[in-house]
Amino acid sequence: MPVANGTLVGVSIAPELVAPDVIDRVLAEAVARGGEMAEVFCEDRTSRTAMFDDGRVEELASGQERGAGIRVILGETTGFAHTADLSEAGLLEAARAAAAVAKQGGGGTNVVGLEKRRAYSTNAVRLHDDVATSEKLELLAKANDAARSVGGSISQVQASYAEGRRRILVATTEGVNASDDQVRTRFNVICVATGDSGLQTGFESVARTEGFELFDTVNVDELGRIAATRALSKLQARPAPSGEVPVVLAGGSGGVLFHEACGHGLEADHIVKDSSVYCGQMGELVASPLVTLVDDGTVTGEWGAFSIDDEGRPAQRNVLIENGVLTDYMWDWLRARKEGRPSSGNGRRETYQHLPMVRMTNTFLLAGQEDPEEIVAQTPHGVYVAKLGGGQVNTATGDFVFGTTEAYLIEDGKITEPLRDANLIGNGPEVLRRIDAIADDFSMMPGTCGKDGQSVPVGCGQPTLRITGVTFGGTAA
């Protein structure tokens, strides 16, 4: 089942969410009541999950959510109403409510919810009808067995499988009429190892904008072994150093640092609010000349890929920093409209109950030309970060804190002892300037990005690279 830009190819699309003539009447109703622009966003979302914990099936769940959000804009005021009723009567009621709150004026956004959040039938839609549940559970059992085979110190293994399908329709009075059918599949393994140093965890996952065909190329046994090996290595880990040290970030997992520390500051809503460290720096050198940072929603199969964003604009490739120079920000339709420029395809929302905002898609640093092993060999001392955990950033200053979940000492140009989890502390613009080597081993990883209470799937990536100095918050003297 091939996937192109997040859209299924060669798969029959389910019947349309709402008839075109109904959409036309709803949009007409919204602007007839005074709106300058009206938008209808319809969504049908289904999901299925399974969890295998301590050698047994712990959870099987499925669900469906379906509804529409209607946005009406009048001057500087946005009215928004959402409803789970996709009938013409339900949509017209939402259109009238959104138009009414837009006419209240005063600027800003007013939201009306026309329904209570409610559970949907768990059997209404089933993804991949040709794949039995037993086949999915077999994958979980295989990952469990592979993880436990790595060593007797593995005391707990949790493996989970999730699949989801999201069909959307976006129509506006400006002539947008677009739809997308997005299918995503994810597989996670978490292992706990027990030893003299206590409990240590290891994690590995794969997530793609694909269907069950993902497992034609992904070996779940290997995922289990990687997670277990990470947990076991931490049993012998020494305290991480403290203070400023050179850091080599492994390809892939370090991408989350640039997503948080740099990407959020390049989202246009922060720019127009003057709440980003990158305000007013267009055309200026903001990073090492080695750095080219891209946000690209068209990367086939990656976790943040789609055909259209949640405002109906086509996904596209946006170069944000080129050879160290800031070249553009990311834009949704609303902020782009105020600046008299087109959207960059970065308008995203969690569900139909949310307004779109500027969000990243797949954000990554382009590969360089150096050998990753040579970068390590040319680093006399420092820390090799193989995997980063979660983090947070202050977009106004660029200051960030990230946790490491797999890191090692670099001594005399060699990766040596594993380190206990610690924090990586720094400043996004400063880190960009301190990159002095970039390898040719580019890779991506999936993630979930949270912003203003909304979460969306994103991809992060980068090749192996070296930062000449970052503060490491370890406990070693």
Interval 273-282: pLDDT, tens: 999 999 999 9
Instruction: Measure the CA–CA gap between 460 and 388, rounded to whole angstroms.
Output: 12
Provide the percentage of residues in the chain whose pLDDT is more than 90.
Answer: 83
Interval 38-57: pLDDT, tens: 999 999 999 999 999 988 99
Q: 287, 269, 289: which is closest to 279 by C-alpha?
A: 269
Q: What is the mean pLDDT of the chain?
A: 90
DSSP-based three-state secondary structure for 214: helix
DSSP-based three-state secondary structure for 65: strand
Mean pLDDT of 346-358: 98
Q: What is the pLDDT of residue 476?
A: 65
Mean pLDDT of 464-475: 91
Give yes or no for a contact between 405 and 423, defined as CB atoms under 8 angstroms apart. Answer: no
Interval 203-224: pLDDT, tens: 999 999 999 999 999 999 999 9
Mean pLDDT of 458-469: 97
Mean pLDDT of 452-457: 96
Q: What is the pLDDT of residue 130?
A: 72
Interval 396-418: pLDDT, tens: 999 999 999 999 999 999 999 99
Residue 366: beta bridge partners?
Answer: none
Mean pLDDT of 252-261: 86
Q: 427, 442, 9: which is closest to 209 by C-alpha?
A: 9
The CATH fold assigned to 3-235 is: PmbA/TldD fold (3.30.2290)
- Please give the distance of CA 458 from its chain centroid, rounded to a whole number: 2
Beta strand extents in 17-55 (DSSP E only) = 37-53
Interval 151-161: pLDDT, tens: 999 999 999 99
Q: What is the pLDDT of residue 129?
A: 57
Range from 236-240, 284-288, 366-370 carrying the lowest mean pLDDT? 236-240
Residue for token pair 């980003």 = 276
Mean pLDDT of 89-108: 87
Under the banding of pLDDT at 50, 70 and 90, the label for residue 196 is confident
The answer, yes or no, to whether residue 458 has pLDDT greater than 50, is yes
Domain positions in the chain: 3-235, 242-473
Q: What is the pLDDT of residue 15?
A: 52
Give yes or no for a contact between 97 and 112, defined as CB atoms under 8 angstroms apart. Answer: yes
Provide the percentage of residues in the chain whose pLDDT is more than 70.
Answer: 91
Which of the 8 DSSP states describes residue 268?
H
pTM exceeds 0.85:
yes
Under the banding of pLDDT at 50, 70 and 90, the label for residue 254 is confident
For residue 130, count other CB atoms closer than 10 A to its CB.
8
Instruction: Measure the CA–CA gap between 224 and 148, rounded to whole angstroms.
Output: 8
Interval 300-342: pLDDT, tens: 999 999 999 999 999 999 999 999 999 999 999 999 999 999 9
The answer, yes or no, to whether residue 123 has pLDDT greater than 50, is no
Residue 187: beta bridge partners?
Answer: 161, 206
Instruction: Measure the CA–CA gap between 285 and 358, rounded to whole angstroms.
Output: 24
Under the banding of pLDDT at 50, 70 and 90, the label for residue 232 is very high
End-to-end CA distance of the chain: 54
The answer, yes or no, to whether residue 108 has pLDDT greater than 90, is no
Under the banding of pLDDT at 50, 70 and 90, the label for residue 390 is confident
Q: What is the pLDDT of residue 144?
A: 97
Interval 419-432: pLDDT, tens: 999 999 999 999 99
Tell me the two tokens of residue 234: 């931490």
The answer, yes or no, to whether residue 168 has pLDDT greater than 80, is yes
Longest dimension (CA), the chain: 72
Under the banding of pLDDT at 50, 70 and 90, the label for residue 111 is very low
Under the banding of pLDDT at 50, 70 and 90, the label for residue 106 is low
The answer, yes or no, to whether residue 260 has pLDDT greater than 90, is no
